[in-house]
Amino acid sequence: MEAAALYLHFKKNLTTVVGAFNSPLELRSMPYNTSLPLEVNLLADVLRLHGLEFNSATTGAERVQDFQQWYLQHEEHVNEVLHRVLEDKKAYMKTATGVVLQKEMLYRRLEYFKEAAHTLQVMMAQQKLHSPKHFNYPFLNA
């Protein structure tokens, strides 16, 4: 049942991630500017197999924002595909590293967005509470 929860909360998680990118939260020491656009690409690969085409020439956090805008425009179709893929236990897809189940590929993407959104929410809450910085990065003080 966790897959259903990930599917139901994807829109909220995506909104949280984009909100964190647009907040004054310091993310330069975090991997999200690189990892989240890669996750968007992998999610777009799954959607592409079902006729939904997401294209963006932007890089970094802007790619995630582009995906959010595209998702909101095609929300009904995207949710239909997400639901169909999560229900299909036998569909597979070829990737650069081999063949994987579409359901597993989608599940991992949704899970990553959930974890990223949770981490970013915690970081934003700590910032609002004026928590002390845990690490002193010299390049961030410049």
- Separation CA 41–CA 55 (nearest Å): 9
Per-residue confidence (pLDDT) for residue 22, from 0 to 100: 92
Domain residue limits, the chain: 2-140
Q: Which residues of the chain have pLDDT under 70?
A: 1, 133-142
Q: Which two tokens stand for residue 58?
A: 């932007």
pLDDT tens digits for 28-67?
778 898 999 999 999 999 999 999 999 999 988 899 999 9
Q: In terms of DSSP H, where are the helices of the chain? A: 2-8, 10-21, 32-48, 61-73, 75-87, 102-128
Task: Report the alpha-carbon distance of residue 77 to residue 24 in Å, rounded.
Answer: 33
Predicted TM-score of the model (pTM) = 0.86
